[in-house]
Amino acid sequence: MSSSPAESYYFTDASSTHSFFSSSTANSFFSALCKKKTGKKLKRKDFSEKIKDLGSGATGNIQLVYRKDNPEKYYALKEFIIPKHKASQEDERKFFKHLQTEYAIGSLLHHRNVVEVENFIYNDYYKRNRKERHIYQVMEYCNGGDLFDAIQSGNMSQGSILCCFKQLMEGLAYLHSMGVAHRDLKPENIMFKDNKILKILDFGASVMFRTPYSNEIIRSSGIVGSEPYMAPEQFSLKPYDPRTVDIWSCGIIFLAMFYNELPWKSAILSNLKYKVWAEKGISEIITDLPKGPRELITRMLQPDPEKRITIEEIFKDPWFKHIYCC
């Protein structure tokens, strides 16, 4: 992977700033982000008012907007939830790190099955003589809803399920080729554009597992992600290869699409359904699959991450290779 301007956005130490939100480090960081794609600093007023809400989460709210100089082009505008005025320096530092991760990683990625991160907007407003900071991320708008809603509808045909699965794996293969592990793959973080093009989004939990000039794998630690889709090694509190947890999550997503339910609530031995799978390799859902997908999903949900199938091996699987995707 070649060097990219976004790499310079990673700062090794934010603790030297007295306050992130008033620091020169923060100002230079956001100025660089805001100018990265357009060559000029965008402002919130360059976009329309909210057309409608697209979603919300722990880190921000997403709205549908358009550029005033091009009303026919729609965007998803994510407004980050900034820690309150009296937030601790540690809270500010965590927020700073999250923004670095989500934008710097997202802006590196350009693939048909990954949402395009377009730009950053960083505005200060004065309200009652007090400065308020508003930070936005401009993203490609996906007009087809998310995979969670598609699953909930119960209307996914076998053909569309297989096509979604193949696109998901193609997007993941690209991420891994770029040295990025997502770590929070789930139906809510998968969108559709024009009702058929699958897009992976939300890189707030993502990590770089490989630097541009090294093949050494940087292991992750800590509980990150959504419990039903998390791999067993994530619950061990030991360092793990973040690529393997993405493979696991995709296996769970396939089962959720195929059966409209999850095989277990969490991959921990106190969960009886998972315990039977981990110890005996038996699951009513998995054993009921046709032979081709059953063998592949079984390898993707191998409890031992050292034995779990890799992304390269998935693309060599005979059944997977013959999935037709329009």
Q: How much of the chain, in percent, has pLDDT values that exceed 90?
A: 61
Q: Note the Cα 112 to chain centre separation in Å.
A: 15
Q: Of these residues, 46, 91, 184, 317, which one is catalytic? A: 184
Residue 286 is inside which H or E element, if any?
helix 284-287
pLDDT at 51: 96
Residue 208: count of CB within 10 angstroms of its CB: 19
38 vs 326, more confident: 326
Beta bridge partners of 198: 192
pLDDT at 8 over 60: no
Give the pLDDT mean for 232-243.
95
pLDDT at 37 over 60: no
pLDDT at 21: 38
CB 161 within 8 A of CB 258: yes
Distance CA 94, CA 83 (A): 10
Residue 40: count of CB within 10 angstroms of its CB: 10
Distance CA 95, CA 226 (A): 20
CB 86 within 8 A of CB 147: no
Query: CA 41, 200, 100, 93: dihedral to nearest 10 degrees?
Result: 130
Q: What is the CATH number of domain 15-140?
A: 3.30.200.20
Question: Which overall architecture, per CATH, does domain 147-321 show?
Answer: Orthogonal Bundle (1.10)
CB 120 within 8 A of CB 34: yes
Where are the domains positioned within the chain? 15-140, 147-321
CA distances from 122 to 27, 49, 138, 234 (A): 9, 16, 11, 35
- Residue matched to tokens 């000029």: 40
CA distances from 153 to 148, 168, 254 (A): 9, 19, 16
Query: Which of 67, 10, 77, 59 lies closest to 38 in space, CA to CA?
Result: 67
pLDDT by residue (tens digit) across 290-319? 999 999 999 999 999 999 999 999 999 999
Where is average pLDDT lowest: 19-28, 144-153, 210-219, 249-258? 19-28
Q: Is 184 a catalytic residue?
A: yes
Q: Is the dihedral of CA 224, 12, 2, 121 positive or negative?
A: positive
213 vs 270, more confident: 270
What is the token pair recorded at 200? 């992976």
The whole-model pTM stands at 0.84
Sequence ranges of the binding site? 78
The average confidence (pLDDT) of the chain is 84
CB 153 within 8 A of CB 197: no
131 vs 269, more confident: 269
pLDDT by residue (tens digit) across 142-188? 999 999 999 999 999 999 999 999 999 999 999 999 999 999 999 99
Local structure of 70: helix, strand or coil: strand
What is the token pair recorded at 199? 């897009």
pLDDT at 62: 93
pLDDT by residue (tens digit) across 76-93? 999 987 766 556 776 777
pLDDT at 164: 98
Query: Which of 118, 134, 106, 131 lies closest to 44 in space, CA to CA?
Result: 134
Distance CA 308, CA 296 (A): 10
Sequence ranges of the binding site for ATP? 78
